[in-house]
Amino acid sequence: MMSVPPEQQLRAYVDYLRDMGIYDLYRRDDPSVPLPESLRAALTAAKSATSVQNVVVPARAQAGAPVRGAATVSPRASAPPAAASVRASASAFAPPAVPTPATAPTNYFPSDDAPPPMSVEMSAPMPKPKSFDALVPVPSLVLPAAERSAAMEKVRAEIGDCTRCPLAYGGRHKIVFGDGDLSARLMFVGEGPGADEDESGLPFVGKAGQLLNNMIGAMGLPREQVYIANIVKCRPPANRTPEYVEATTCSQFLIQQIDVVKPQVIVALGATAATYLLGVKQSLASLRGSWHEARGAKVAVTYHPAFLLRDPRQKGEAWKDLQRVMGELGLQGARPKPTA
Q: Considering the rule CB under 6 A, would residue 216 count as an interface residue with ligand URA? A: no
Tell me how many residues contact ligand URA (CB under 6 A): 14
**Cα(277)–Cα(111) distance, integer angstroms:** 28
CA distances from 22 to 16, 50, 67, 116, 276 (A): 9, 7, 13, 20, 21
The correct pick among 39, 57, 84, 208 for binding ligand URA (CB under 6 A) is 208
Task: Decide if 203 contacts 216 (C-beta within 8 A).
Answer: no
Cβ of residue 155: shortest distance to ligand URA, in angstroms? Answer: 17
Task: Provide, rounded to whole angstroms, the least separation between the CB of residue 227 and ligand URA.
Answer: 13
The residue within the footprint of ligand URA, chosen from 193, 237, 263, 312 (CB under 6 A), is 193
* 50 vs 107 by CB, closer to ligand URA: 107
Verify binding: residue 177, ligand URA, rule CB under 6 A.
Answer: no
Question: Does residue 230 touch ligand URA according to CB under 6 A?
Answer: yes
Q: Which residue from 23, 93, 188, 204 is in contact with ligand URA, where contact means CB under 6 A?
A: 204
Strand 186-190 versus strand 265-269 pairing type: parallel
The least CB distance from residue 106 to ligand URA, in Å, is 8
- Which residue stretch of 6-14, 22-30, 145-153, 190-198 sits at the interface with ligand URA (rule: CB under 6 A)? 190-198
Q: Is 132 in the site for ligand URA (CB under 6 A)?
A: no
CB of 232 to ligand URA, least distance (A): 9
Tell which residue, 294, 298, 270, 273, has the closest CA to residue 284.
270
Nearest approach in angstroms of CB 13 to ligand URA is 27
| Whether 160 contacts 154, CB under 8 Å | no
Q: Is 203 in the site for ligand URA (CB under 6 A)?
A: yes
Given a contact cutoff of 8 angstroms between Cβ atoms, the answer to whether 230 and 239 are in contact is no
- Residue closest to ligand URA when measured from CB atoms: 190
Judged by CB under 6 A, the residue of 15, 179, 197, 243 near ligand URA is 197
Does the protein bind ligand URA through residue 307 (CB under 6 A)? no
Angle at 287 (CA atoms; ends 315, 85), nearest 5 degrees: 30
Applying CB under 6 A, the residues found at the interface with ligand URA are: 108, 190-194, 197, 203-204, 206, 208-209, 230, 306
